[in-house]
Structure 1
Amino acid sequence: MSSLKVYNSIKRQKEEFIPIYPGHVGMYVCGPTVSGESHLGHARPYITFDVLFRYLTYLGYKVRYVRNITDAGHFEEEGRDAVDKIAKGALLEKLEPMELVQKYTNLFHWAMLRFNNLEPSIEPTATGHIIEQIEMIKKILEAGYAYEVNGSVYFDVKKYAGNHHYGILSGRVLEDMLETTRELENQDEKHNKVDFALWKAAPPEHIQRWPSPWGDGFPGWHIECSAMSRKYLGTQFDIHGGGMDLQFPHHECEIAQSEIAGGELMARYWMHNNMITINGRKMGKSYNNTITLRELFNGTAKELTQAYSPMTVRFFILQTHYRSTLDFSNEALQAAEKGLARLLAANELLQAMPYVQGEGTFNEELDKQVRTWCAEIPGFMNDDMNTAKVMANLFELTPVINSLKSGQIKMAEISEETFTILKNTWKVYLVDILGIVGERQADDSKLDDVLQLLMNMRKEAKARKDYATSDKIRNQLLEMGIQLKDEKDGSMTYSIV
């Protein structure tokens, strides 16, 4: 198998990738917290690790790719008043927690399919693995690295740091953290401000709750990923991935609790994609510049001047190395839109083009150059997935393809073997590995007929006051990216979102 090197965040250097079990790769990537709509920040890690999944598979590995769904327990550390993000979202939207979870899980899946992301091998949910989390917490308690207070269980970070390397991934120093960690209300039940919750006691009004040896409660955020990765990949596996924002506290806490429960470092290679900025500013709710994926696709966000297709976004993300900061702007996305069109058009021409030698004289220099550009691409992928350089070489080859089609370059100027290499390189790297494909065009007339039928069914349901069916039609169409609108005159219209 090819010699792939990846940047290992825990070692802070590139290393040759050698899996624990030859021919097999276990990879875990932290999935979304489905308390709200997926946003632009979700696009980069899941496209990045989709490409890694594709490339490892292409290299011949049998990959088990596990990407979880956090549907309970994701909260910031706020003492006994910690608020579960799922429960909070459910209250705001007046939905049952699992209703909220299903709604946003469906929208997440819809967006991932539009990005042409492959489905993971296993997609476990936090609520489906409460037993595993409880068992893991028991092991940590038995080892003496956790303590129970008022029905909540906390990990003892200070004790762990006394015997292990806390900060091995993030580079944080515990003493500095103890001095700078802000005082939070109701922190008195923790031994130290930096301790994190493994299990939280549920107040009477908390809907999501499960029985445990410490009373009814819900899991902490960090324990979920440790328990699910361990169940499906073992106590140690090959790759743990996610965004750079997860290095601390999430991944650092995962490492600590998993080492105590399993006795070894949970993953050998830690890979992190860098952050996204929007017009040079960090993206976040505090900056009021978070763009949901639906807003991105339909152009309704205030930062956007137009809609951008999922494939334009995928192409734009892969034009930059995954460990570099990526700045979204209308100008950059519009340039990506044009670049994508060039590559797709060139690939379509190339794949339909037969090798017919015809007139012309063999051009040794051109033939060698085409082979060189193609031969460099595997090396770029093996150098920590440098998709930016892969794209650059494809752009170098684009004028050659266009000239072969127009006749400016005669087919006889390159050998049939070189032409086959060119054709295969584009198919394998552009389509199979980078996942760049043409946007699927719907047959508008058929779509109109089907939607008119569904709108008529919804109108009939409303007329007989069957609001459950009416809402179901509207909501399920919305999950597929089609928004219905009731007009004042009683008619109904739709728009693609």
Structure 2
Amino acid sequence: MSDQPLKLYNTLNRQKEIFTPLSPPYVGMYVCGPTVYNNVHLGNVRTFLTFDTLFRYLTHIGYKVRYVRNITDVGHLVGDGDEGEDKIGRMAKLEKVEPMEIVQRYTNDFHQVTATFNLLPPSIEPTATGHLIEQIEAVQKLIAEGLAYESNGSVYFDIIKYNEGGHNYGKLSGRVLDDLLNETRELDGQAEKRNPLDFAIWKNASPEHIMQWNSPWGKGFPGWHLECTCMSTKYLGKQFDIHGGGMDLKFPHHECEIAQGTGLTGVDPVRYWMHSNMLTVNGQKMSKSLGNSFLPHELFTGSHPLLDQAFSPMTVRFFMLQSQYRSTLDFSNDALKAAQKGYKRLVNGYRVLKLQEFMEEEDVAIDEKKKADIENSVRGFYEAMNDDLNTAVAIAQLFNLVKYANMLYLNQLKSAALGRETFELLKEKFVLFFEDVLGLQEEKTAGDAVLGGMLSLYREYKAAQEYEKVDEIRLYFKNQGLVIRDMKHRIDWAYEE
């Protein structure tokens, strides 16, 4: 429906670029998954929602996507650097359990949260511990290429050697190597490294380190950055189309991935680097120390002290989609309440449009203006999504289509006035956009049979003028977050906006 090609913002080149996959219609996409040492937080959810939307949209427009999203179950150290405890090992010590018990618990939590938000599972979900052989082989190859060196049982990637080979460490994040070196001069005392910027691809494990494996360099564990390089290239090839993650991973994690991948294969591993922006709360950065960090279940129950009420998973999903993924997204009660109202309006339109049928009426003339407006909104949805997944503008087009859904429902517009083709376009595309592209769902509080039965009672009590019972049924619906629509041509229910 759109003549415009799909454009994605490529962090590497700092501009929107026409998306041209390496081997169309196939697309390879890798997204850095969670480190499973704690509950998934909303910042993570926004990142995974961004790439769920991209996965859905690419599939919708005909691409066959292999979506790889890993589980980091070892090697990610506290502070994200090369020194300190493994995040999972530290939690295991604190709780006096096996590290894999921590991994399993929080992997389960992650899957539950992603299912609650209706995120599609990836095509492949590899784990770091399941790819230790590949990581050891990669370390050996980088040493053989002269791009890594062993020191006291650890192996480090040599950034100076890498840059001397004509490469540019820092090109993704825009960091200049000389500036980075000046920033880290005080760390020169760490004699294990030739250069303070060199990063670990294999770390020597102290005796008290729980998670460790045998290697040619002694007992140790893999570097966090190397894990993603090995898993992405194993399943997507030495060069693939899209690599995604949160903006906080741009440096050093993704910068290191580029260096390792290039060092291992001789080619830049990724064509399009994409990064989602962060969440703020009432204008402040979201963080545990400020007490403004939310876990998903706190939103669903309204149990967080900063919340006025509970918000459903689809309200939160809709709220996140109302902002383009590269913009900062600010959480506030007012913003969430507005999103709740907007989501209910969309879901009401979705519900009634699914039930509408085309009616041939010979005496009804085609309304060319409304017909064109519907076609323009459908085209506008695609144009917005093709403009670097601008879901905010795409949703605005859906609201325009809801207007016509409501007009049909209220008998203010005859389906014949649109013509069969435009009517079917409205119905089919709205449902597809709502369900398949934006991944929204109807959140029912009661079954259709129960609600239908209650409406039948409502009609009977109203006809019998038993108004106390009529009011009781209205109150029942209100307590479910629903309203009764008492219209001339029908009695129905809707979600309370």
TM-score in terms of structure 2 length: 0.86
| Equivalent in 381, 385, 398 of residue 377 of structure 1 | 381
Matched, 1:308 2:311: yes
Q: In structure 2, what is the Cα distance between the partners aligned to 1:347 and 1:246?
A: 37
In structure 2, the partner of 1:139 is 141
State the 1:249 CA deviation.
0.5
Q: 1:302 to 1:187 in 2, by over 3 A?
A: farther
C-alpha contact 2:82 2:199 (8 A) present in aligned 1: no
Q: Which amino acid aligns with 2:163?
A: A
Matched, 1:215 2:200: no
SS of aligned partner of 1:203: coil
State the 1:82 CA deviation.
2.1
Q: Which amino acid aligns with 2:8?
A: V
Matched, 1:299 2:298: no
Correspondence list, 1:125-164, <5 A:
125-163=127-165, 164=167
In structure 1, the partner of 2:418 is 414
| Equivalent in 236, 239, 259 of residue 236 of structure 1 | 239
| Equivalent in 346, 357, 366 of residue 362 of structure 1 | 366
In structure 2, the partner of 1:455 is none
Listed one character per residue, the Cα deviations across residues 78-118 of structure 1 (whole Å, up to 9, x for unaligned) are: 98742111101111222210000000000000000011111
C-alpha contact 1:79 1:187 (8 A) present in aligned 2: no
Q: In structure 1, what is the Cα distance between the partners aligned to 2:74 and 2:391?
A: 35
C-alpha contact 1:222 1:250 (8 A) present in aligned 2: yes
Matched, 1:265 2:265: no
State the 1:14 CA deviation.
1.1
- Alignment: residue pair count: 443
State the 1:2 CA deviation.
7.6
Correspondence list, 1:89-488, <5 A:
89-163=91-165, 164-181=167-184, 183=186, 187-358=190-361, 360-439=364-443, 441=445
Q: In structure 2, what is the Cα distance between the partners aligned to 1:388 and 1:284?
A: 26
Q: In structure 2, what is the Cα distance between the partners aligned to 1:202 and 1:211?
A: 10
Q: In structure 2, what is the Cα distance between the partners aligned to 1:442 and 1:124?
A: 38
| Equivalent in 53, 56, 78 of residue 55 of structure 2 | 53
Q: Which amino acid aligns with 1:422?
A: L
C-alpha contact 2:25 2:64 (8 A) present in aligned 1: yes
Q: 1:269 to 1:328 in 2, by over 3 A?
A: same
Q: Could you tell which deviates more after superposition, 154-163 or 193-202?
A: 154-163
State the 1:189 CA deviation.
1.4
Q: Which amino acid aligns with 1:148?
A: E
Listed one character per residue, the Cα deviations across residues 258-304 of structure 1 (whole Å, up to 9, x for unaligned) are: 11011111111111111111111111234332212222222222222
C-alpha contact 2:4 2:383 (8 A) present in aligned 1: no
Structure (1 or 2) with the larger CA radius of gyration: 2
Listed one character per residue, the Cα deviations across residues 445-474 of structure 1 (whole Å, up to 9, x for unaligned) are: xxxxxxxxxxxxxxxxxxxxxxxxxxxxxx
Q: Could you tell which deviates more after superposition, 361-370 or 185-194?
A: 185-194
C-alpha contact 1:77 1:197 (8 A) present in aligned 2: no
In structure 2, the partner of 1:476 is none
C-alpha contact 1:77 1:196 (8 A) present in aligned 2: no
Q: 1:78 to 1:293 in 2, by over 3 A?
A: closer
Q: 1:442 to 1:208 in 2, by over 3 A?
A: farther
C-alpha contact 1:78 1:186 (8 A) present in aligned 2: no
What root-mean-square deviation, in Å, do the aligned CA atoms of Structure 1 and Structure 2 show? 1.9
Q: In structure 1, what is the Cα distance between the partners aligned to 2:308 and 2:186?
A: 42
Listed one character per residue, the Cα deviations across residues 55-87 of structure 1 (whole Å, up to 9, x for unaligned) are: 111222211100000000101579874211110
Q: 1:355 to 1:33 in 2, by over 3 A?
A: same
Q: Percent identity?
A: 56
State the 1:226 CA deviation.
0.3
SS of aligned partner of 2:324: coil
In structure 1, the partner of 2:482 is none
Listed one character per residue, the Cα deviations across residues 223-272 of structure 1 (whole Å, up to 9, x for unaligned) are: 00001001111111111011111110100000001110111111111111
SS of aligned partner of 1:333: helix
Instruction: Mark the runs of 5 or more structure 1 residues left unpaired by the alignment.
Output: 444-497
SS of aligned partner of 1:285: coil
State the 1:185 CA deviation.
9.9
State the 1:143 CA deviation.
0.9
In structure 1, the partner of 2:488 is none
State the 1:411 CA deviation.
2.8
C-alpha contact 1:259 1:266 (8 A) present in aligned 2: yes
In structure 2, the partner of 1:41 is 43
Q: Could you tell which deviates more after superposition, 33-42 or 187-196?
A: 187-196
In structure 2, the partner of 1:26 is 28
Q: In structure 2, what is the Cα distance between the partners aligned to 1:139 and 1:255?
A: 16
Q: Could you tell which deviates more after superposition, 382-391 or 115-124?
A: 382-391
SS of aligned partner of 2:406: helix
Q: 1:81 to 1:61 in 2, by over 3 A?
A: closer
Q: 1:310 to 1:20 in 2, by over 3 A?
A: same
TM-score in terms of structure 1 length: 0.86
Q: 1:338 to 1:414 in 2, by over 3 A?
A: same
C-alpha contact 2:116 2:313 (8 A) present in aligned 1: yes
Q: In structure 2, what is the Cα distance between the partners aligned to 1:182 and 1:291?
A: 37
SS of aligned partner of 2:201: strand
In structure 2, the partner of 1:5 is 7
